[in-house]
Amino acid sequence: MIRVVIVDDEIRSRETLQEMIKIYCSKVEVVGEGEDVKSGIKAIKAYNPDLVFLDIKMPDGSGFDLLRQMMPVTFKLIFITAYEEYAIKAFKFNAIDYITKPIDPEELQAALQKAESALEADNLNSRLTGLLDMYLKPQAAESKKVILKTADAIHILDAEDIIRCESDRNYTRFYLKSGEELLISKSIKEFVEYLEERNFMRVHQSHLINLNYLIKFKKDDLICVLRDSTEVPVAWRKKDELLKIFKSL
């Protein structure tokens, strides 16, 4: 039996993962859980698990912060992430497994099968050291890449190639410089933090725009105009922030 600790700040995510493990993974037992870095470390030390499912972004830090405090790591590791760019940038190259939210049962089963045959802890620690080094380095040019997963493909884009994003219920529609549109099965809030670090602004609850494409702000109408002639509504509370951006240009 594989003893597991789940560290994820979203209670629904923890409950869903536990339920999926019960249904699809008979050789796995969840023995503990944590909701942030502090409680995650406490649970890992208390239960000494064989395997940890570790979220990336948590209220008091990141999964990487937890790993730095736990080194050398004595457990196998599967990252849980809603941010595909982390996976492309780091996990693939370091051969550390990951699953993306929302969790797919087949992905979960495959990840657990890999965990059963994972390398010994010494090799895992060397790979984790490489991953942490990569994470802690100053953001390089490739960090401007945006990874979008559609139903039939994975798209690797430059942030500059995205004009804007628009919420479509629980999906997000990306409008590209090429004229192509991509519908992604994640809500717009999943992309806000990552894209805002790449010169995007959430001007409205349903709209993220690339500021490089912004050419006009109609103050009275609360409308911003982009280079492709698209008009995007601006929330009243965003008006002053947008005006400041124009003044700084």
Helix locations, 137-236, DSSP H: 189-196
Mean pLDDT of 191-206: 91
Q: Count of CB atoms within 10 A of residue 53's CB?
A: 29
Going by C-beta distance under 8 Å and a sequence separation of 6 or more, which residues neighbour residue 57?
Answer: 9, 63, 83
Residue type at 66 in one-letter notation: L
- Percent of the chain at pLDDT exceeding 70: 82
Report whether pLDDT(54) > 60.
yes
Mean pLDDT of 188-208: 91
* Distance from the Cα of residue 177 to its chain's centroid: 24
Pick left, alpha or beta for residue 192 (phi over 0 → left; psi -120 to 50 → alpha; otherwise beta). Answer: alpha
- Tell me the C-alpha distance between 222 and 178, whole Å: 27
Query: What is the pLDDT at residue 137?
Result: 52
Query: What is the pLDDT at residue 127?
Result: 59
Q: What's the token pair of residue 118?
A: 């994972």
Query: What is the pLDDT at residue 122?
Result: 43
- Tell me the C-alpha distance between 121 and 115, whole Å: 12
Residue 58 belongs to what H/E stretch? Answer: strand 57-58
Report whether pLDDT(173) > 70.
yes
Cβ atoms of 216 and 229 within 8 Å: the answer is no
Average pLDDT, the chain: 83
Q: What's the token pair of residue 129?
A: 């050291």
Q: Which of 6-15, 65-74, 128-137, 238-247 has the lowest mean pLDDT?
A: 128-137
The listed range with the strongest mean pLDDT (87-91, 95-99, 121-125, 204-208) is 204-208
Report whether pLDDT(70) > 90.
no
Q: What are phi and psi of 183, to 5 degrees?
A: -105, 115
- Compute the CA torsion angle 169, 192, 63, 148 (nearest 10 deg): 70
Query: What is the pLDDT at residue 93?
Result: 37
Query: What is the pLDDT at residue 9?
Result: 92
Domains of the chain in start order, with CATH, are 2-136 (3.40.50.2300), 143-248 (2.40.50.1020)
CA-CA-CA-CA torsion sign (35, 40, 42, 47): positive
Q: How confident is the model at residue 82 (pLDDT cuts 50, 70, 90)?
A: confident
Q: Which of 7-16, 56-65, 117-126, 221-230 has the lowest mean pLDDT?
A: 117-126
Residue type at 123 in one-letter notation: N
pLDDT in tens, 99-150: 888 888 888 888 887 777 653 444 555 556 655 655 555 444 445 788 888 8
Residue type at 169 in one-letter notation: R
Query: Nearest CA to 238 among 196, 177, 194, 197?
Result: 196
Beta strands in 118-213 (DSSP E): 145-149, 154-158, 162-168, 171-176, 181-184, 200-204, 207-210
Instruction: Report CA-CA distances (Å) from 181 to 149, 163, 176.
Output: 13, 10, 6
- Tell me the C-alpha distance between 99 and 81, whole Å: 6
